[in-house]
Amino acid sequence: MLYFWVIIAYLVVLIGVGAYRAKFVRTQDDFMVAGRKLSAKVLVGTLLATWIGSGSIIAGAGLAYDKGFPALWFDAGVWAALIILFLIAPRARRFGQYTVPDILEVRYNKYARLLGTIVTIIAYTAIVSYQFRAGGMVLNLITGISVEQGIIITAVFVIGYTVLAGLISVVYTDVVNGVIMTIGLLIALPFLFSNAGGWSGMIERLPETHFQ
């Protein structure tokens, strides 16, 4: 029952953050791109929560358990993307558009925008769907409701606080999520390390290939 109320408190905090930030939305720029004036700290927080989701925490941990240190390559694409983003972000900003397909149309033509839109829809349908499913599985574990009901509740909640204030709402709830994930992982790590028997215990139990 404690876990249930913790989840409720967490959801209320996120809705509260979204509702508070809604007061700062006055233009389309505010809603779509947070007024183009986010600080570096806030950007780090939202990128942390966006990229380190259920896939990284659950699938990434499973892959590390199965493959060992080679699983570090799981996130190699993210590091490459950060370097590319650093190089192209100033030019992309000068276009003054809201989405990647918008930029593609300005830079190339309407067909590039169409292709970009199709790719974005396919990619984010997959990404968002497994995030919703992860939320549904957590609610199933804590409350006993079906995974499908949990998915619906998660989807309604996320869409709700996004509609409240657009990107401003998403960004600042991401900051909250990023802080919670970081603290949670830091607290969990010593317990996981201890249960595994420490570094020596892991070396004894896991194949040598895991450490190559």
Q: What is the pLDDT of residues 24-71, one digit of tens each?
A: 888 989 999 888 888 888 988 888 888 777 667 777 777 777 877 777
Residue in 153, 169, 141 with CA at minimum distance from that of residue 17:
169
Q: What is the pLDDT of residues 168-207, one digit of tens each?
A: 888 998 898 888 888 988 898 888 888 878 777 777 777 7
Q: What is the pLDDT of residues 121-132, one digit of tens each?
A: 999 898 888 889
Q: How many domains does the chain have?
A: 1
| CA trace torsion 120, 40, 171, 181 (10° rounding) | 100
**Domain containing residue 136:** 2-211
C-alpha–C-alpha distance, residues 177 and 172, integer Å: 9
Q: What percent of the chain has pLDDT over 70?
A: 96
Question: Between 110-143 and 100-107, two packed helices, what is the crossing angle to 10 degrees?
Answer: 170
pTM of the model: 0.78
Would you say 15 and 160 are in contact if contact means Cβ atoms under 8 Å apart? yes
Would you say 154 and 14 are in contact if contact means Cβ atoms under 8 Å apart? no
C-alpha–C-alpha distance, residues 82 and 76, integer Å: 10
